[in-house]
Amino acid sequence: MGRATRGDHHDVALMTPSEDIAPTRLLRLLLVGWKWIILGAFVGAGLGWGMTFIRTPRYEASAVLSIGFDYARVNEMDDPVTNYVVLRVRDLLLSDETMQRAVDTLGETPGLAQIPSDPVGLRSQIRLAEEDSRWELVSWASTPEAAAAIANSWAESALVSLAQAMLHAIRAADLEAAVYRAGCKLTEDPAAPGQVIWLCTLSDGSVDPDTLPVALLEETTLSRGLLPAMSFSLLQRAEPPAAPVVWGRGTLILAGTLLGMWVSILALLVRRDPVGGQLPSSPAAQSEASDGE
């Protein structure tokens, strides 16, 4: 192990990356250089904090919808049924049809820059969160106006999709009642033995019984899993935010702090003792030094 001197000061031990570091030597190094480690942590934290202002600003806005069950018309349902309907509502709000309608509305809005041009781009700038009957439609963009416009366009498109699906759900309920009144049942097809068909009879002739099962299936599909006893409304429109969202500041500061400490410790390992005192070396290094003398 080499030694270096500076004037009349004590000998200073130099450490190389290839040298074995005993635990006591490392502990001594940390105790002696703690000021440099803390300084590195503060410098790294400052750099991480400064990075939050360099990143592109992100503005968030949110519109709020109320979507729930009208318990004045329906009894309280089991959790599996409720969860199923909630999933169907989420699928509808994020469907290609809803996204495309919102994109078309944004394209007709003047004065907006950097807005999504297709459903895939729109999905990359939105987030959907629900709590009970409160559904929050969150969007973000590089300008406050664009963020609010995206959220409002999405909310308006979602209301249209909900209204259309609800209309089909009501029709499906009416057809289901008609099927029940007609006494529809599956029976063997006389023209094709081994095959079954729906057989419906309705004495008053108010509807064509042969079309009931097919129409019911179509309306049920178009209802997108919604129930007739549901209600929805717009609770809050999105407003342009006053300030950007500072996201990731804590993570950047923590990362900068750890990086600063690591760089300080690494610098102490490859350089001499900052206070000029000789650090205790490993037993192997001491033995080699004795043999050399």
| Position 280 pLDDT exceeds 50 | no
Percent of the chain with pLDDT over 90: 24
pTM: 0.60
Nearest 5°: the CA angle 261, 267, 271 is: 150
Report which of residues 24 and 127 the model is more confident about. 127
Q: Are strands 3-4 and 12-13 parallel, antiparallel or unpaired?
A: antiparallel
d(CA 227, CA 223): 8
Report which of residues 241 and 57 the model is more confident about. 241
Which tens digit of pLDDT belongs to each residue from 140-150? Answer: 988 889 999 99
Which pLDDT belongs to residue 7?
45
Q: Phi-psi region for residue 4, left (φ > 0), alpha (ψ -120 to 50) or beta?
A: beta
20 close to 282: Cβ distance less than 8 angstroms: yes
| Position 292 pLDDT exceeds 60 | no
- Secondary structure of residue 197 in the 3-state scheme: strand
Nearest to 279 by CA among 31, 40, 18, 34: 31
Confidence of residue 98 (pLDDT cuts 50, 70, 90): very high
Helix axes of 34-54 and 23-32: crossing angle, nearest 10 degrees: 70
Average pLDDT over every residue of 80-94? 88
Which pLDDT belongs to residue 6?
44
Q: Where are the alpha helices (DSSP H) in 33-111?
A: 34-54, 79-93, 96-107
d(CA 111, CA 221): 39
Which tens digit of pLDDT belongs to each residue from 106-140? Answer: 888 877 777 888 899 999 999 999 888 899 999 99
60 close to 132: Cβ distance less than 8 angstroms: no
Other beta carbons within 10 angstroms of residue 115's beta carbon come to 19
Domains and CATH numbers, the chain: 3-55+248-292 (no CATH), 59-173+214-236 (3.30.70)
Render 28-45 in DSSP notation, one character per residue.
Answer: HHHHHTHHHHHHHHHHHH
Sign of CA dihedral 112, 114, 119, 124: negative
